[in-house]
Structure 1
Amino acid sequence: MINEPAELDPSSPEPIELAPALLERMAAVRAAALHTLEAGEPVYGVNTGMGNLSKVRLSEAGQRVHQRNLLLGRAVGGPPWLAPDESRAVLIGRLKTFLTGDSAVSVGLIQQLVALINSDYTPAVPAEGAGSAGEIIPLAHAAGPLVGIGWLLAPARGDSGGAGDSGGAGSAGGLRPAGGLLPAFELGPKEGIALLAGTPGAAGRAALAAAKVRRLADRLTDVAAGAIAVVGANRDPYEPAAARGDDVLAAEFARLRELAGPEPEPRSLQAPVSFRVAGHVNAHVRRTLQQLDDAVDRAFTGVSDSPAYLDGDFVGTAGFHGIDLAAYCDHLTTALAHAAEVSTARLHRLLDPTVTGLTAQLAREPGPQAGLVAVHKRAVATTHQLRRLTLPTAISTAETSNGQEDVQTFSWEAVGNLAEAIRLTRKTTACELLAVRQAFALSGRAIPPGLQDLVRAVDAVVPPIDVDRPFGEDLTRLLAEVI
């Protein structure tokens, strides 16, 4: 039972039920807002046109159809569609902002939104092409099914893409028209523009991405510790004293030391840099993740509606700008790209007998067998893809709406880049993990206690590597079951 907006988690797949007291508060706000509208003062998008047409006052008849028309005329997107878990996160993000009261929408619309979230279907929301100051295009697609407009993604068979590697947006079981899924609903005053306002989609998707990065960050640490342990790397770089003044780094050092286990006689005074910097790299991922978490919290607790109903009046705001979300999504994308590059470098070193003391390319019989050399090549190609995602998104602006909108942040695109960065970083992590497991198998080293659960999870889906085989199948299983 949800009592406050903060209790809603865009990454949770659980059904949503709102407490009666919360709905009563929303009903009171709605009644007050309707009373304010009775004065007849111009309110943007309610009794006026939108954008460059905001100077046009709407007749009573025009107002009755305007709110639905707002959704119709702005649904200009198309495939590829968001994966179901991301589409659901957009809806929950919209619900969280409605429950602040700033949108002053009816309890009926809130309940219609909850019914859509709790259904087996999600809206077909375009993954690309927001192109505006805010998110009106993708939000028009997300909100359309509330009033029988647009398309729905049918339930996927199997994983929805929340933790696995679905291979792209919109991996559901197909499309169906939105009409008929929910009871008929007519939008009232202010409700169409409220559905299109702010950045709830980027915020919801960012919250979902943050949950995925938290899991991925733990795997980055696990795999780096495995590489450190299997090559017998000198543990000096992870000493507590070396993290002075940085609690995040100190915690990462502690995790690496615990997972990698007791230090054997080091093979060399210094391991390659990609091993020595593992703590700093992973700590940076966790630190930037916290910055994105904070930006998401600000997006959901701040004022993002426009016009927002504040202190008994409708106020035009700029809460749709989304620079906070865009910047920290970009920051985390870059942190993941760097982590993937370092992981790929360690993987290359794991193939080198001078670093590991093992056979070349981790092959059982080098020469007749190539070992894992092509696995490293796949990781190299993946990091190349990642580098192309690291260009900041909020540095390109263009005028739209006849100059009414002359600046954008492209936060929708920024969170899309982050989702892709997560997908690709998981791939490089799987490549390194496969090499770590094979190195342990060839070395005969005991698996440190902290890594035994991880190794058992790998062994459950990847058979022992004694000869060359299509290692892509092993990586696919690791992505589905372990990473």
Structure 2
Amino acid sequence: MAEKHKNFKYGEDQLSAGLALSLARGHISGKLSPATREKVRESAQIVARIVEKGEPVYGINTGFGPLCTTRISREETRVLQTNILKSHSVGVGKPIEKEIAKLMLVLKLHSLAKGFSGVAEETLDRILWHLENDVIPLVPEQGSVGASGDLAPLSHLFLPLIGLGKVWYKNEVISTGELFRKKGLNPLELGPKEGLALINGTQFIAAHAVKVIARMQRCLSQADIIGAMMVEGLQGSIKPFYKELHQLRPFKGNIHVAHRITALLKDSEIMEDHIDCDRVQDPYSLRCMPQVHGASRAAWLHLKELLETELNAVTDNPVIIDEELTISGGNFHGQPLAMALDYACLAASEIGNISDRRTYLALEGNSPGVPKLLMKETGINSGYMILQYTTAALASENKGLCFPSSADSIPTSLGQEDHVSMGSISGRKALQVIGNVEKILAIELLTAAQAFEFRKPLKSGKLLDEVHQALRKKVPFAEKDRVFAEDIEKGIQMIREGSLLQLVRNAAEKENLSIESPYSAEFEVF
């Protein structure tokens, strides 16, 4: 899918989160087909004829928001579109990640290329130029209420079209004026409706949702691997993962997680060693991984399904259906993604919550052979005690971030926009929570690996053994206290890069094993 030469057709092909990321990362290229260009030209011509007729159409020859009854003369329609970019560029805070800004360009270009927005072909070509040359506008993270479109961030995103704002260029931030001098470019003169089409839409929310989908999927999949390592390290029971149990409550996520954990524990001498032990059942954080991880996967899948609809939608306003029908509606409202992002935020937090509980469990010393605090000589050594303080702090911070942003609405635009989604905040918070979960999982990985060591000379299953060996190349077994922050950073890097997933895939391929469930394809991004 990601061959460099493959061309994605903006406005025509079906966009997914994985494809959007591949476009943003330059793994595949995108183009505007002749058919798409024709549709775009026809839509722009319809807008031109509306201006000529002089009949009032919102945003073309009227003011915006509460100024929708203010008529704009034919001569001033172009000035109106430039002014809207200037006046709506009111974002504050740190710039968003460059990749999120690049995703916004990809998503907006795809939406505008569908030919219902009345923008000029030249405008789309300039957006495509920014993508192809990796010249990405600086966009502040705060200022959108997630309705009427992500107005402030999208305004900043497109200031460079008119020669304003700042951009990333060759790994440095420069003014658009300096960029134009270097590249011999001139500002675009926006036509009627173009400014409004550029800033009306949900691309800030949707771009964050794309990143949520990708990063959360890595967390979910690696949480299964780390959880399986903890089951081995603490010699938990494998029975709670049997398919016979989960067929009686056949949620997709539960079946998928149980199948993966069972496959990961296959041929483990550690698990075989206590198969006839008299322990009746394990604590929930081990035993209920399919139910808890599975429920979070259901939330992830819900967001993924909604996002794929949104990525292929027209979300600006008004929408130009044809010469006789222009609709001023509400496709810009971020509620569909806002609520799903809040759900995903909670689901991600719960992965961190149960991970913290497993880390705590590993420290208790209640599993035969595993010492308290995961170190034999304690007293002079604190062992892994304080690592769990960090997971507790992060899990608690996440709980505070789980209040749903979409539950709030503050009227704007003098009451014209009297219900807004706050979806931009939902997206930003979800990524913040996922960042904390990556840290929590890294600490569980370290504690699971430490517990794992006390099972020697028994061997792990072949898949988890690969993970353990790879970690030990970066983080040695701890016989006494050291600066564990350095170990944690190495673990975080592995989680963020998805190293555990690749290790397991490579080992499964080498051993001719499979960890795929009937639902594996649904739970993938790429």
- With normalisation by structure 2, the TM-score equals 0.84
Q: Is the 8 A contact 1:364 1:466 kept in 2?
A: yes
| CA distance 1:32–1:45, shift in 2 (3 Å) | closer
Gaps of 5+ in 1: 157-172
How many residues are treated as equivalent by the alignment? Answer: 466
Secondary structure of the equivalent of 1:479?
helix
Instruction: For residue 202 of structure 1, report the CA deviation from its aligned partner.
Output: 0.7
> Partner of 2:59: helix, strand, or coil?
coil
- Residues 299 and 351 of structure 1: CA distance in aligned 2, closer, same or farther (over 3 Å): same
Q: 1:364 Cα shift?
A: 4.2
Within-5 A mapping of 1:55-454: 55-131=69-145, 133=147, 134-153=149-168, 156=171, 175-181=173-179, 183-184=185-186, 185-244=188-247, 245-262=250-267, 263-264=271-272, 265-266=274-275, 268-312=279-323, 313-355=325-367, 357-444=369-456, 445-454=458-467
Give, in angstroms, the shift of residue 326 of structure 1: 0.5
Partner in structure 1 of residue 63 of structure 2: 49
Worse overlay, 405-414 or 73-82: 73-82
User: Following TM superposition, by how much is the alpha carbon of 1:214 offset from its aligned partner in structure 2, in angstroms?
Assistant: 1.6
C-alpha contact (below 8 Å) 2:146/2:424 kept by paired residues: no
SS at match of 1:2: strand
CA shift in 2, pair 1:33/1:64, >3 Å: closer
Where 1:355 maps in the other structure, the secondary structure is: coil
Shift of 1:420: 0.7
Which range is displaced more, 420-429 or 35-44? 35-44
Contact 1:132–1:400 under 8 Å retained in 2? no
Q: CA deviation at 1:287?
A: 1.2
Q: Give the whole-Å Cα distance in 1 for the aligned partners of 2:39 and 2:471.
A: 50
8 Å CA contact 1:306, 1:316 repeated in 2: yes
Instruction: Output the CA distance in 1 between the equivalents of 2:285 and 2:212.
Output: 26
List per-residue Cα deviations over 1:293-333 (Å, max 9, x = no partner): 11112223334211011143321010111111011100011
SS of corresponding position for 2:53: coil
Q: Which moved more, 1:239-248 or 1:259-268?
A: 259-268
Letter of the 1:187 partner, please give it: L
Q: Deviation per CA, 1:12-63: give whole Å up to 9, x if none.
A: 2016330433333323333344334432221211211111111111123321
CA 246–482 in structure 1, closer or farther in 2 if over 3 Å, else same: closer
- Taking the aligned partners of 2:76 and 2:296, their CA distance within structure 1 comes to 51
* Residue in 1 that maps onto 2:470: 457
- Equivalent residue number for residue 11 of structure 1: 21
Structure 1 stretches of 4+ moved >4 Å: none
| Amino acid of the structure 2 residue aligned with 1:6 | Q
Counterparts of 1:364 and 1:123 in 2: how far apart (Å)? 54
Partners of 1:457 and 1:482 within 8 A in 2: no
Match of 1:163 in 2: none
Q: Which amino acid aligns with 2:176?
A: A
CA gap of 1:39–1:403, structure 2 versus 1, over 3 A, is same
SS in 2 for 1:208: helix
Match 1:2 to one of 1, 8, 15: 8
State the Cα distance separating 1:389 from its structure 2 match: 1.2
Instruction: Name the counterpart of 1:162.
Output: none
1:281 deviates by 1.5
Which amino acid in structure 1 is aligned with residue 234 of structure 2?
Answer: V
Structure 1, 7-16 or 55-64: larger mean CA deviation: 7-16
1:370 shift after superposition: 1.1
Identical positions, percent: 25
Taking the aligned partners of 2:108 and 2:376, their CA distance within structure 1 comes to: 54
The runs of 5 or more residues in structure 2 that have no matched partner are: 1-6, 497-526
SS in 2 for 1:314: strand
Q: Which residue identity is paired with 1:228?
A: V
Deviations 1:349-406 (A, max 9, x none): 1112113531211124222211111111100000011001111112222222111111
Find the residue that maps to 1:79 and give its secondary structure.
strand
Change in CA separation of 1:7 and 1:198 when aligned onto 2, cut-off 3 Å: closer
Q: Is the 8 A contact 2:146 2:423 kept in 1?
A: no
Cα distance in structure 1, aligned partners of 2:368 and 2:394: 24
Q: Which whole-Å CA distance do the structure 2 matches of 1:324 and 1:452 have between them?
A: 42
Superposed displacement of residue 447, structure 1: 2.5
1:79 shift after superposition: 2.3
Whole-angstrom CA distance in 2 between matches of 1:438 and 1:372: 9
Quickly say closer, same or farther: Cα 1:298–1:273, change in 2 above 3 A.
same
RMSD of Structure 2 on Structure 1 (CA):
1.9
- CA positional deviation for 1:72: 0.4
CA distance in 2, matches of 1:401, 1:269: 62
CA distance in 2, matches of 1:447, 1:219: 17
